[in-house]
Structure 1
Amino acid sequence: MDRIKVENFLNRLCRIRALVVGDLMLDEYLWGKTERISPEAPVQVVDVAREDLRLGGAGNVLNNLVTLGCQVEVASALGEDEDGRHLRRLLEAKEIATGGVFLSPGRTTSRKTRVLASNQQMLRIDRESRDPIDPALEQRLADYVRSAAGRCQVILVSDYLKGVLTEGLLKAIFEAGKTHGIPVVVDPKGADYRKYAGATLLTPNRKEAQAASGIAISDEASLVRAGRKLQQTLDLEALVLTRSEEGMSLFLRSGEEIHLPTEAREVFDVSGAGDTVLSLIGVGLAAGLSLDDAARVSNIGAGIVVAKVGTSTVAPAEILEVVGRQHPDTDLKIKDRQVLKGVLERERDAGKKIVFTNGCFDLLHVGHVKYLQHARRLGDLLVLGLNSDDSIQRLKGPKRPLIGQEERAHVLAALKCIDYVVIFDEDTPLQLIEALRPDILVKGGDYTPEGVVGKDLVESYGGKVELIQFVDGKSTTNIIERILEQYRDA
């Protein structure tokens, strides 16, 4: 997957607000070791060493979104019991507003207790209510969803069949999504998916898709039939069928099918992977990614979390680390403007002096290299603003550039003296300079200080302009003229 696109997507997550609607629960983990059999019955004895109580169910979707840096809202119902109160405290500790979380007398807040020894789950104990919420509570939740949807970019529905997501509430959710023009992504449960008609996308696993479609999934052909049947029957924009260690399959309304192999290096625990898929696909669509790209990012995230024990989350840095392994070193230096802005802010906070220069660099030659090496010595980091192909055509005519922007960027990124390359499409680098705020602005000696674009801006915050002389007789124009001369009669 394109690394720059992923970086740009992750950089936009802090501006995404997601509404999560579904079954909140507590996930309790009892960690210990087992070395003996009980004298009371033929079962292992687990000596518990530590306990962990986490947000589970729809709460793990919230955990994923918070870890990714998104803003979140939640709508759900809890029992008016100690577990319900504890769950609200966990939400508040993560600075998640609980205005959409309503208490229901007589209801039992869901708690799943998992007993683990040597990183293996040995037993799970469930305490919960599964009865549908009453009509009055359904109405309160529907009203909250209608209100919250107007300030969110996506609605994520996490259904565990614990009674919160009634057909009436689901209908209100889908109507709210349609009213505000935002995607509604559902992690479904049960065998009857008709209640999800109106969703943008569903993310069932293989077992769930088999039950809902009525098609026994035994091979690739039967999986395709099941996925296509569900997508067409419910008229979804897409269906993402997760396949555990085999990755995932995407069925689009257009009829296209995309099969993605797993990104997991080693599988320890698949619990919670569906929450990660739901979260990343949802915010991917909210951030403007295509269905294909949103699925690819979620596949990377799922591969990361299944390598962890217990329901887990994935951080942006972990996604970038995986994506980075798919690209050569030069590619890692080429950055999106907004991503680079954040990188340079951190470098500046660390006391680094940032040097910036820009140009076309069409047909790289020794004059360019000497110039860039000199510029790098003026500070701690050298950022090169590279004119795009469209920008060069406007500046130099339709016959230029000779080398496309992607090739030019990779050639320049291979130079040790360059730390980052960023492509800009404007005729001048002024907007880029405004975004990056370099300490030193460098141009060639054929400029006067007054003629350097961005001089006043850089000097306004204490930066300075440096002019560097080019190597005499070395230029792209001279190279072109020499080639034409030597090969004119060839």
Structure 2
Amino acid sequence: MERREVESFFAKATGVRALVIGDLMLDEYLWGRTERISPEAPVQVVEVSREDLRLGGAGNVVNNLVALGCSVTVCSVIGDDDNGALLRRAFEKIGADLSGVVEEPGRRTSKKTRVIAANQQIVRIDRETTAPISSSCESALLQYLSENAEHFNVILVSDYLKGVLTPALLAALCQTGRELSIPVVVDPKGKDYGKYRGATILTPNRKEAEAASGTAITDLPSLEAAADTLLSELELDALLITRSEQGMSLFFNDGAATHIPTVAREVFDVTGAGDTVLSVLSLGLACGLPLAKAAWVANVAAGIAVGKLGTSTVSPDEIVAEVGHGQKDSDSKIKNLDVVARIAAQERTRGKRIVFTNGCFDLLHVGHVKYLQKAREFGDMLIVGLNSDDSVRRLKGESRPLIDQAERAHILAALDCVDFVVIFDEDTPIRLIETIRPMVLVKGGDYTREGVVGHEIVEGYGGRIELVQFVAGRSTTRIIEKIMKNYS
């Protein structure tokens, strides 16, 4: 995927409503240093210098989704204890909807304490209840699902085997997803995957897939055999098996498969990486990305997550930067319309004046450059709408363009005076103008104000039209004529 396609994906995230159901817990981190052995017992003494409390389990999935920009509702069971109250406050702080959270009297809210020194865990302390939730709590969750499922774009199931996801609840989740055509994405646990039958996709790691399928995964054929077993027995649409340093493998129920290699990077902590995969993959499905592309972005996000200590989130900006790593600077200035519209809106709130112009810019010459430099002087940001190859052919004939749209876009983006380039396929830039809402619309001096497409739109909200004279004697047509004359 190109950077601008990933940017467009995240631009859609704000319209997604996700339901996360699963086991909630608190992850406590005690950071310190150790330089001596205790005189009381042969153990290290850790001098704690910092304490950190984070959302863990399904809570880390929620945290990831919020960081990615979508609206999240939580559905789970917690205890009526101090840790339960801390969980509620943490969710409220990030703006998650807790309407699906039920308290069970006497239940112990899960809390895992990790002691870290010299950038590695020394010990982990678990305080939790793992017994199945009460029948009354199960009924409350089933009722919530029945009354609210239709309002969500995707359902994420985060199973840590702490008792929330009962067989009846999982069966209802998968059935509801099928009936309402809502993707149900499951991060599974345990050996019995029969409880997930009918889900859209499962995301086990290699060891989990081995245990659930009963197949030792040692090479590609055994990996495919394990995937075939799980796909057929569980009636899944697809299966994504994460394979650590070997990347991910995506299998479909029609026999197709896609293997996604990992990006080499230093690994500090794999804690929560599976939550990141679940979150990004699910968001991709909710935004309409094909499964293979959603998995590809999830793989990029997981690579970033393992480079951080503890249950950490990954931001859209980090993912976009990673996708664009190693690309030329000009690539970062070529955007899809939805992305550049959001950027323009943000800049307007800061008082910036947006300038827009459009054209074919086929065989860029000094007349084009001077024109664009002058256009940039009318405001704080210049966005150029570039006619696609198909659009140019309709306007100028089958022999044009001389240079394809990708090359034309990169050449324009390389100019300092151009801030962003948007390729459009229509014959006119009306849709771009309506979406970007520039304050200054610029065209060549061979136009009249009334002849500029979109002038009434821009002037209607207080903008203006500027006409710029081209450099005399400079045009693509004249360059073509000269080449034909000299080299025919």
Please tell me the TM-score bracket, short chain as reference.
over 0.9
Q: Check the 8 A contact 1:112/1:124 in 2, yes or no.
A: yes
**C-alpha distance in structure 2 between counterparts of 1:475 and 1:142, whole Å:** 69
**C-alpha distance in structure 1 between counterparts of 2:313 and 2:421, whole Å:** 31
Q: Percent of pairs identical after alignment?
A: 62
Q: Check the 8 A contact 1:264/1:307 in 2, yes or no.
A: no
Query: Which amino acid letter does the alignment assign opposite residue 356 of structure 1?
Result: F
Query: Which amino acid letter does the alignment assign opposite residue 262 of structure 2?
Result: T
In the TM superposition, what is the alpha-carbon distance from 1:485 to its structure 2 partner? 5.1
User: Match of 1:435?
Assistant: 435
In the TM superposition, what is the alpha-carbon distance from 1:56 to its structure 2 partner? 0.9
For 1:304-383, list aligned pairs within 5 A. 304-383=304-383
**CA 1:349–1:99 in structure 2 vs 1: closer, same or farther (change >3 Å)?**
closer
User: Match of 2:241?
Assistant: 241
In the TM superposition, what is the alpha-carbon distance from 1:338 to its structure 2 partner? 1.2
User: Match of 1:393?
Assistant: 393
In the TM superposition, what is the alpha-carbon distance from 1:270 to its structure 2 partner? 0.3
The secondary structure found in structure 1 opposite 2:28 is: strand
In the TM superposition, what is the alpha-carbon distance from 1:481 to its structure 2 partner? 4.2
Q: Provide, for residues 140-194 of structure 1, a one-character-per-residue CA deviation record: whole Å limited to 9, x for no partner.
A: 1112122222111000000001111111100110111112111000000001111
The secondary structure found in structure 1 opposite 2:412 is: helix
User: Match of 2:301?
Assistant: 301
Query: Which amino acid letter does the alignment assign opposite residue 192 of structure 2?
Result: D
User: Match of 1:18?
Assistant: 18
Query: Which amino acid letter does the alignment assign opposite residue 454 of structure 1?
Result: G
User: Match of 1:42?
Assistant: 42
The secondary structure found in structure 1 opposite 2:151 is: coil
For 1:458-477, list aligned pairs within 5 A. 458-477=458-477
**C-alpha distance in structure 1 between counterparts of 2:206 and 2:326, whole Å:** 28
User: Match of 2:456?
Assistant: 456
Q: Provide, for residues 207-248 of structure 1, a one-character-per-residue CA deviation record: whole Å limited to 9, x for no partner.
A: 111111112223444333323332333232211111223322
In the TM superposition, what is the alpha-carbon distance from 1:370 to its structure 2 partner? 2.4
The secondary structure found in structure 2 opposite 1:98 is: strand
Q: Provide, for residues 378-424 of structure 1, a one-character-per-residue CA deviation record: whole Å limited to 9, x for no partner.
A: 33322111112232333334443333322221222222322211012
**C-alpha distance in structure 2 between counterparts of 1:33 and 1:346, whole Å:** 44
User: Match of 2:410?
Assistant: 410
In the TM superposition, what is the alpha-carbon distance from 1:264 to its structure 2 partner? 5.4
Q: In the alignment, is residue 107 of structure 1 matched against residue 96 of structure 2?
A: no
Query: Which amino acid letter does the alignment assign opposite residue 48 of structure 2?
Result: V
Q: Check the 8 A contact 1:264/1:302 in 2, yes or no.
A: no
In the TM superposition, what is the alpha-carbon distance from 1:279 to its structure 2 partner? 0.3
For 1:37-436, list aligned pairs within 5 A. 37-263=37-263, 265-436=265-436
Query: Which amino acid letter does the alignment assign opposite residue 166 of structure 2?
Result: T
**C-alpha distance in structure 2 between counterparts of 1:7 and 1:321, whole Å:** 10
Q: Provide, for residues 14-69 of structure 1, a one-character-per-residue CA deviation record: whole Å limited to 9, x for no partner.
A: 11110001011111111111111111221111122222222110000000011111
Query: Which amino acid letter does the alignment assign opposite residue 293 of structure 1?
Result: K
In the TM superposition, what is the alpha-carbon distance from 1:82 to its structure 2 partner? 2.0
Q: Provide, for residues 301-354 of structure 1, a one-character-per-residue CA deviation record: whole Å limited to 9, x for no partner.
A: 111111111111011111111112142222111111111112223333444333
Q: In the alignment, is residue 4 of structure 1 matched against residue 34 of structure 2?
A: no
In the superposition, the TM-score normalised over structure 1's length comes to 0.95
**C-alpha distance in structure 1 between counterparts of 2:55 and 2:455, whole Å:** 52
**C-alpha distance in structure 2 between counterparts of 1:220 and 1:115, whole Å:** 38
Query: Which amino acid letter does the alignment assign opposite residue 270 of structure 1?
Result: V
In the TM superposition, what is the alpha-carbon distance from 1:458 to its structure 2 partner? 2.1
Q: Which runs of 5+ in 1 are unaligned?
A: none
**CA 1:264–1:79 in structure 2 vs 1: closer, same or farther (change >3 Å)?**
farther
**C-alpha distance in structure 1 between counterparts of 2:105 and 2:264, whole Å:** 43
**C-alpha distance in structure 1 between counterparts of 2:227 and 2:381, whole Å:** 50
In the superposition, the TM-score normalised over structure 2's length comes to 0.95
Q: Which runs of 5+ in 2 are unaligned?
A: none
Q: Provide, for residues 460-479 of structure 1, a one-character-per-residue CA deviation record: whole Å limited to 9, x for no partner.
A: 33332111112333333334
Q: Which moved more, 1:376-385 or 1:279-288?
A: 376-385
**C-alpha distance in structure 1 between counterparts of 2:283 and 2:178, whole Å:** 17
**C-alpha distance in structure 1 between counterparts of 2:128 and 2:301, whole Å:** 29
The secondary structure found in structure 1 opposite 2:324 is: helix
**C-alpha distance in structure 2 between counterparts of 1:263 and 1:72, whole Å:** 29
**C-alpha distance in structure 2 between counterparts of 1:253 and 1:112, whole Å:** 37
**C-alpha distance in structure 2 between counterparts of 1:146 and 1:450, whole Å:** 57
**C-alpha distance in structure 2 between counterparts of 1:328 and 1:295, whole Å:** 25
Q: Provide, for residues 442-490 of structure 1, a one-character-per-residue CA deviation record: whole Å limited to 9, x for no partner.
A: 1111101121122232233333211111233333333444445556xx5
**C-alpha distance in structure 1 between counterparts of 2:223 and 2:111, whole Å:** 33
**C-alpha distance in structure 2 between counterparts of 1:373 and 1:93, whole Å:** 46
RMSD between superposed Cα atoms in Å: 1.8
**C-alpha distance in structure 2 between counterparts of 1:478 and 1:48, whole Å:** 75
